[in-house]
Structure 1
């Protein structure tokens, strides 16, 4: 059975998640810069294939850690994650996107991001 999070459980994981997101953002930016530089000039000051593989491995390690906890990774540019939950008897996803300071949104499971609403107070 898939993990269901209470709002408090999901919110307690958010500080660690946000810290990891900082690493993902940095690695994502380095990958983009290396790819651009290699295409434009044939080389990058940030490295080559070994650095690309290392950055990709680190991103995968972080994302795998989240999924092992039951967090659903929906995207990495921007980072978008869902925490499966139940709200008023309805299957929902507590939804967080890169840049938000707190977990304040949800959507019905079947609606996805387009159905996003603020969490009730």
Structure 2
């Protein structure tokens, strides 16, 4: 059965006039961000499952119902990503629940980094780096 949308939705780039977070501000926003990210991970997992089922099915009523569920889940995921963008957070990984908070340190843009399951925003990386280059926020004070 053809599916018009990929399993991985696109993430809109953050605007250039976005807010900058301090570590404290990011941690204050974290309870809300965490709830949204939990929903993102759950909905994304459901989308992946629906996608597999749709690929295994041929045309028919069951496939049509699954396609509607898939489209609804994709819409829900888009709404959740929009919620994160409104806060000023960039979603980096749908499966892991990885987000970046734009920040500024010593006059340069950086990203504070948080992943689902972590107690707080405890890492950062350069804007042109990624998860593998995360450093503890304490390193910013050295």
TM-score class, shorter: 0.7 to 0.9
Give the distance between the partners of 1:30 and 1:102, measured in 2 at CA: 26
- Whether 2:125 is the aligned partner of 1:107: answer yes
Residue 85 of structure 1 is matched in structure 2 by: 103
Q: Mark the runs of 5 or more structure 1 residues left unpaired by the alignment.
A: none
Relative contact order, higher structure (CA 8 A, sep 6+): 2
Unaligned runs of 5+ in 2: 1-16
Deviation at 1:40, TM superposition (A): 2.8
Alignment of 1:94 onto 2:112: yes
CA distance in 2, matches of 1:26, 1:110: 28
Computed over aligned residues only, the root mean square deviation of the Cα atoms, in angstroms, reads 2.0
Deviations 1:39-64 (A, max 9, x none): 235557xx511111111111110111
Segments ≥4 residues shifted beyond 3 Å: 41-44
* TM-score for the superposition, normalised by structure 1: 0.84
Alignment of 1:39-78 (within 5 A): 39-42=55-58, 43=62, 47-78=65-96
